[in-house]
A and B are shown apart, each in its own frame.
Chain A
Amino acid sequence: MMDDGRSAWQRVLRSGRVLFGGGILLLLFICAAAAPLIAPFDPNEQDLLNALKGPFWTDTAADGHWLGTDNLGRDTLSRLIYGSRVALFVAFCAAVGTMLFGTTLALLAGYFGGAVDWIISRAVDLWMSFPPVVLSLILIVGFGVGLGNVILAIILVDWTRFCRVVRSEVLVIRRQNYVDAARLAGFSHLRTMVREVLPGALPLIITLMSLEMGIAVIVEAILSFVGMSVEASIPAWGVMIADARKYMYQSSWGLVLPIIAIVLTVLAFNLLGDGLRRTLDARLQQH
């Protein structure tokens, strides 16, 4: 068991995808954590004399503003750095919440089967008949704006993703002999579920979490873009895109840079998830 665990970790650390994705995320995390130390300006500090400037390699660059400024002269680099805080915070909280909610329901459905499975599966069907964007928009209208509500909305929209996939995995694990053995040895349902069934689904859950973080970043950006996410004083990438869109004829960099930030972050989560899936999934290893 020990050997197996160690070699799995060695495989993970040798995967180019995991290293690349993880590397970008580590950098991003440092940016978010140390934002006040790294950012050259206050993200909300206006400098109207230097509005809509381009990055340092363009003709319209302004001294000190490395990546240019927006329509109010706010420093793009500083706003990008502070924006990573919102993105990563939402990504982490939403992914943990979705995982807990979706996996719990999946365990119950797959383990007990029967009526429990039927009800949970019908709930998934119901949820899946809404396009995710539409459902999250309705939820935000119902809850009101704010970071906590955005996270709650993402959890309430995306739990189905976990529930569907983990449930079918649990259905397979449930039929293994060692699960029956645990029951025969007198383990309670709860203990069997948590100690015997759950570990088998863990590689899948870890992979799904990484992908979910990428999705959460996108959903938060979408909600900020339509003005339904954070308060105006908090710099978020989606807000930057919405602001810059109105001035894209004067300066397209204000639009391009936050888009690149989002794509790079989502790419990192996807690469990490993909790499983990390839290295942790025993069935894929055999191929």
Chain B
Amino acid sequence: MSGEIFGIILRRLLVAIPLMLLVSVLVFVVLRLIPADPLSMAVPPNATKADIEAMRREMGLHLPVIQQYAIWLGQLVQGNLGKSIAFGQPVATLIGQSLPATIELAFFGALFATLIGLGGGILMFRLRGSGGEQVADVGSTLMMSIPEFLWALFLILIFGVSLNLLPFAGRLPPDVTVTNITGFLLLDCLLSGNVSAFFSALKHMLLPSLALALGTAPLIMRVLRSSLLDVIGEDYVTMARLRGIPERRVVNRHALRNALLPALSLMGVQFGFLFGGTLLVEVIYSYPGLGNMMVEAVRNTDLPIIQGAALVFALAVLTINLIVDVLYIVVNPKLRRAR
């Protein structure tokens, strides 16, 4: 079985490589359409025409677009994403600093989304045929109409501003510092033995990851409910009932296992979206991650950062899809035995 999974990963990677190349072409071409001159940000106000021309040559902006792309790609393969126009630092370094924060946020978002999605799906299924069904139906439609960036604002208003229960800016209070070991803040807190900082960081994580989860969970809820409705009429479920197994156990042990598969395959796509959703949630919570950096770069027309961040986002989505595909095969006995 492990060989099979390895084969699937290999096949997916072979598809992913040309896809990433096309992604890089797309990003590069779209950003060349830009109406503003990216140089206008970089040059000092007193620069002469000759200075600007020299800078243009130094950055390779005088070359034809295809040649620019070839150079950029050659650098990219070596892990060089260029230098930020606004910060003057290598883009790869800047992304390396902000990506762990975004991965942490997306991880907790996905975790909460799974818990809420599965819990809500089972709850909605249990309510079938009762008066609560209509309420749950309308409730889930309402939840589906609220995207994560509005949840982010709602949660700030309720738990931050009104109740003053939870922090909603950054990852830590300004007076707390944690030594940077891995870049993953929660991990670093534990590694350096700073328990109070760990709990503070967890608290800071709660609202933004919950906002992400609430934007993603309703669809998982609905798919799980309808796939539970599909399997509940199957013979093996009836058999389990006839054997006198309590209804709760029938659902949790027998029906849920098979009903989980459609929900799981949906999660692959949904968690890809969730990773994109971090962008606005980070802006709203002043969370120092990749999305916040990218929006800042968009405002500054800092092309190298926009390009680099967009590529990393695409790479993240492909990776998440791959992980979920592998999980799907691990938990699906039908696919495992085929061959």
Chain A residues packing against B (C-beta within 8 Å): 125-126, 128-135, 137-144, 214, 218, 222, 225-228, 241, 245, 248-249, 252, 255-256, 259, 262-263, 266-267, 270-271, 274
Contacts and interface: CB of A to CB of B under 8 A. Distances in A.
A245 B153 CA distance: 8
Interface residues of B, number: 49
A267 B19 CA distance: 35
Contact of B157 (A135, A228, A255): A255
Contact of B295 (A137, A142, A262): A137
A139 B147 CA distance: 21
Contacts of A218: 147
Given A131-B313, A131-B317, A143-B33, A137 B294 contact: yes
B167 interface: no
Interface string B244-279: 000000000000000000000000010011011101
A255 B310 CA distance: 30
Contacts of B52: none
A267 B145 contact: yes
A138 B23 CA distance: 12
A132 B145 contact: no
Which of A130, A248, A252 has the most CB atoms of chain B within a 10 A radius of its CB? A130
B160 to A, nearest CB: 9
B34 interface: yes
B99 interface: no
Interface stretch (B59-67, B172-180, B298-306): B298-306
A134 B290 CA distance: 11
B313 A226 contact: no
Interface of B: 19, 22-23, 26-27, 30-36, 141-142, 144-147, 149-150, 153-154, 156-157, 161-162, 269, 272-273, 275-277, 279-280, 283-284, 294-295, 298-299, 301, 306, 309-310, 313-314, 317-318, 321
A65 B279 CA distance: 35
Nearest to B274: A131
B166 to A, nearest CB: 15
Contact of B141 (A132, A140, A255, A270): A270
Given A245-B153, A245-B284, 17 more contacts: A126-B19, A129-B19, A131-B273, A131-B277, A133-B280, A135-B310, A137-B295, A138-B306, A141-B30, A141-B298, A142-B31, A228-B298, A252-B157, A259-B154, A262-B150, A263-B142, A270-B141
12 contacts: A126-B23, A128-B317, A130-B23, A130-B317, A131-B275, A138-B310, A141-B301, A144-B34, A144-B36, A226-B298, A248-B161, A259-B150
A142 B314 contact: no
B265 to A, nearest CB: 14
Contact of B161 (A144, A249, A266): A249
B299 A125 contact: no
Contacts of A227: 299
B35 A144 contact: yes
B157 A274 contact: no
Contacts of A249: 161
B31 A141 contact: yes
B150 A271 contact: no
A130 B314 contact: yes
Nearest to B22: A126
A138 B309 CA distance: 10
Contacts of B299: 226-227
A248 B276 contact: no
B157 A248 contact: yes
Contacts of B317: 128-131
Contacts of B161: 248-249, 252
Contact of B277 (A125, A133, A263): A133
A244 to B, nearest CB: 9
A129 B23 contact: yes
A218 B157 CA distance: 20
A255 B284 CA distance: 13
Contacts of B321: 129
Contacts of A228: 298
Contacts of B283: 226
B150 A130 contact: no
A134 B23 CA distance: 12
A144 B298 CA distance: 11
A266 to B, nearest CB: 4
A139 B27 CA distance: 9
Contacts of A271: 141
B276 A226 contact: no
A61 B198 CA distance: 43
Contact of A139 (B30, B149, B280): B30
